[in-house]
Structure 1
Amino acid sequence: MNAHVILNREEISRILDRLASQIYERHGRCESLQLVGIQRRGVDLARRLADLLSRRVGHPLPLGSLDINLYRDDWTSLEGKPQIGQSSIPAPVNAANILLVDDVLFTGRTIRAALEALQDYGRPCSVELLVLVDRGHRELPIEATYVGRSVATRREERIDVLLEERDGLDEVRLSRADEAGA
């Protein structure tokens, strides 16, 4: 496999700390802010950010998770059956400022599905997007408010985010799509 590491544990930690600082600068005490991670690794990143922000503001932040599989526009073309996870939005969405968190921003279709899923819970005051990696190649007019790292990729390349909570290590890898599983 010809994958190479583009972010290691320390870099991911430093990026999350920087992103938490940017959120704090924009939202102050974060009193109307809710973090909502997109299943799966977006939830892990949102949890880490919530911890960092809670230490800064001195109170816990509402933290939710959103499964977007039923809202995907490609579910009929997926091989096999999509794994349907659970969404959990712990506080009212109406009039809240929602911070959607995901690991990689690519075409924008996952975020479109997340915005649609979020509407089932109410009408937020605002929705911002935070991603660990923005790899370009947008198919929809969607941009992140907060970006950990922008990485120029080719369409045939793949970004894999590995997180301690799921994978046993923190690492972001870049590989050719046909090599990713090798």
Structure 2
Amino acid sequence: MGTRTVLQNTDITRALTRIAHEILEANHGASDLVLLGIPTRGAVLAERLAAILSDIEPEWAADREQRLGTLDVTMHRDDLGHGIGRAPHRTTIPTSGIDGKVVVLVDDVLYSGRTVRAALDALQGIGRPRAVRLAVLVDRGHRELPIRADHVGKNLPTASDERVTLRLTETDGRDEVVIEQIEPQQPAAQQPAAHRTGVTS
């Protein structure tokens, strides 16, 4: 299975810095701005974005902790009935709430769009924001729903048989984005005898 690294630490930092500037420009400043990271790595990226915003926007730095939260989407996913187990994470909403605010959802890799749809459903039970925008570090294409990101760190055209993996220092010990080629599974009759009989090496 082939693997290639497409983003490293400096690339990720540069992409997040650009996204932070884009968010402030689109919002005309930091007024009424809230970041909600989608666990796990989306929440980490939201924290990094919050730190960058604090460096460039005094209004954000003054009450950063009241503008940053996480949004768990586990119970709103459409694959719960398909035997795909996911451990729920904690949702933390800023004390000021999200009513009338501009909420920027932060996620790691945008693929089918189903996680984002689940996030929009989750928001409905929390409040009524004035606007909702989406920031992702990587957009790999292959959308299954009419969803697009407002702020993208890197567009990575990929094949359907490739896997995009984001690793972050906080969760994985290093920063990188890699693309892996997924080997197709062989039919049982074509697999080596050790695999057909259940013998492992």
Within 2, Cα distance between the matches of 1:111 and 1:131? 10
- Within 5 Å, which residues of 2 pair with 1:104-143? 104-143=109-148
Q: Cα RMSD over matched residues? A: 1.3
Instruction: Name 1:87's counterpart in structure 2.
Output: 91
- Count of matched residue pairs: 178
Equivalent of 2:173 in 156, 163, 168: 168
Aligned counterparts of 2:182 and 2:83: Cα–Cα separation in 1: 16
Partner of 1:146: 151
Q: Give the equivalent residue in structure 2 for 1:15.
A: 15
| Deviation at residue 178 of structure 1 after TM alignment | 4.5
In the TM superposition, what whole-angstrom CA distance separates every residue of 1:50-105 from its partner, at most 9, and x where no partner exists? 111112111233111011110000112134x3201111111311101000000000
**Match of 2:38, as an amino acid?**
I
Match of 1:98 in 2: 103
Deviations 1:97-138 (CA, angstroms, capped at 9, x unpaired): 000000000010000000000111111100000000000011
Q: Distance in 2 between matches of 1:54 and 1:29?
A: 12
Question: Identity of aligned pairs, percent?
Answer: 43
CA drift at 1:27? 2.1
Q: 5+ unaligned residues in a row in structure 2: which ranges? A: 185-201
The normalised TM-score by structure 2 is 0.85
Task: State the partner residue of 2:164.
Answer: 159
Does 2:40 match 1:35?
A: no
Amino acid at match of 1:108: G
